[in-house]
Amino acid sequence: MSKTKDLPDEEKSGEHDNLNDQNNQKDGDKKPPEPQHEFPTIEEHAATLSVSAPIFAGVMQCKKWASGKRVPLTDFKQAVKDFSGASMGGE
């Protein structure tokens, strides 16, 4: 009995081999991945702007930001400004 009888149509026609050839290109043939822009971490922003530890902790709490979160500098500055200008009752 022939094995091609039990194979899916794309394997019978050889299309499957073409897909494997495309996926197995040499590393030298591949283009390097595009560089992704990453924002600095909130800790890096705090250090750059000399934000005090209590203010930084309060900003993190209010914004529900975890350590290592990456945000644009403008967002970080606005968060510090909003937190620093807020009333003690939060209203």
* Confidence (pLDDT) at 34: 52
Q: What is the 3-state secondary structure (H, E, C) of the chain?
A: CCHHHCCCHHHHHCHHHHHHHHHCCCHHHCCCCCCCCCCCEHHHHHHHHCCCHHHHHHHHHHHCCCCCCECCHHHHHHHHHHHHHCCCCCC
pLDDT tens across 19-63, in order? 555 555 555 567 665 545 689 999 999 999 999 999 999 999 999
